[in-house]
Amino acid sequence: MNQIRLYLDEDSGDTILVRSLKNRGIDVLTVVDANTKGYSDEEQLNWAIEQERVLYSCNVRDFYR
């Protein structure tokens, strides 16, 4: 089974959440890790797709579609 590879945007990069996920063996990358901080929402989504990662965001109104 393939493991989910997460990509947390600026709204979701809480240190405790990231540390907890990593401690459980989850493959997590943040915008800081990826040097993509400041990218637009569309650019964040496209970057995640290109990297075959699931974009995790608390910014629901921009991604509800």
Strand partners, 30: 8
Give the separation between CA 54 and CA 29, rounded to whole angstroms: 10
pLDDT band at 12; cut points 50, 70, 90 = confident
**Among 31, 33, 35, CA closest to 12:** 31
Does residue 23 register a pLDDT over 70? yes
2 vs 26, more confident: 26
Give the model's pLDDT for residue 58. Answer: 79
Q: Which residue has the higher pLDDT, 52 or 3?
A: 52
- The band of 63, judged by pLDDT with boundaries at 50, 70 and 90, is low
Please state the pTM of the whole predicted model.
0.81
Which 3 state secondary structure label does DSSP give 42? helix
Neighbours of 16 (CB within 10 A): 7
